[in-house]
Amino acid sequence: MKSLRAALVEQFGDPSGVLGSVAGFIMLARPSNRERNLRTLQLLDVQPGDQVLEVGFGPGFAVECAAKLANRGKVVGIDHSPLMLRQASTRNARAIEAGRVELLLGSADRLPGLPSCFDKVFAVNVYMFWDEPVTVLRGLRSAMKPEGTLTLTLQPRRRGADDEDTRQAAERMAHSLRSARFEDVRIEILDMDPVNAACVLGRVPRTSSPSSAAPNPGAGN
């Protein structure tokens, strides 16, 4: 029989039910979760007028923080968990009512038709759930403005994970971003407990020619 811990760990990819609520609470309360989200937003350099998209918002902590930074812009979030949508909507109720935050139920693998309006896009501890990260990143790129910035952050969470896991995750994410034709891809390693987090940033080209938007069959994920 599956241990309670194993069942709880499984919840983080698509929280539901009682255990999913516990997972949502952990995401919100764990200091390292909050820190890696805050540091991601810092690196993303969110500006007051920015249009921001978060993929996999969980209980909505980073949405709340991003909305304070983009106080003349808008924050849109997408998550495929109805439970996380409810938790994050409660947390951000006032900003939603004011039209400064919009939270959507949906999958990064099948993005709803989003206008190409985002200056900043980020996803924290979500990359590892994507079966085809390059396809997801291409979809996100098409929802971004030229020269917009996308940031992927990952802090390995499996038991016994160490800084070498972080380094390898950083390389994988950087490779995916380059394969999806992001430019100026750079890796930042965040010195954190209990293990470092990797933050990888990429920029949408100034002009996206039709050929650069086309699928790249040789690219790995």
Cα separation of the two ends of the chain: 33
For residues 83 and 109, what is the distance between their CA atoms, to the nearest angstrom? 19
Q: Minimum distance from CB of 14 to ligand SAM (Å)? A: 5
Q: What tokens were used for 43?
A: 């690196």
- The site for ligand SAM, by CB under 6 A, has a size of 24
Closer residue to ligand SAM (CB): 126 or 169: 126
Q: Is the dihedral of CA 63, 33, 170, 190 positive or negative?
A: positive
Q: Minimum distance from CB of 212 to ligand SAM (Å)? A: 24
Q: Minimum distance from CB of 56 to ligand SAM (Å)? A: 3
Q: Minimum distance from CB of 51 to ligand SAM (Å)? A: 19
Per-residue HEC secondary structure of 178-207 comes to HHCCCEEEEEEEECCCCCCEEEEEEECCCC
Scan residues 10-69 and list those touching ligand SAM (CB under 6 A): 12-15, 27, 33, 37, 55-58
CB-based burial label for 102 (10 Å; 0-12, 13-18, 19+): middle
Q: Does 103 bind ligand SAM (CB under 6 A)?
A: no
Q: Does 108 bind ligand SAM (CB under 6 A)?
A: yes
Q: Does 122 bind ligand SAM (CB under 6 A)?
A: no
Q: How many residues would you count in the chain?
A: 221
User: Rule CB under 6 A: which residues touch ligand SAM?
Assistant: 12-15, 27, 33, 37, 55-58, 78-81, 84, 107-109, 124-126, 129-130
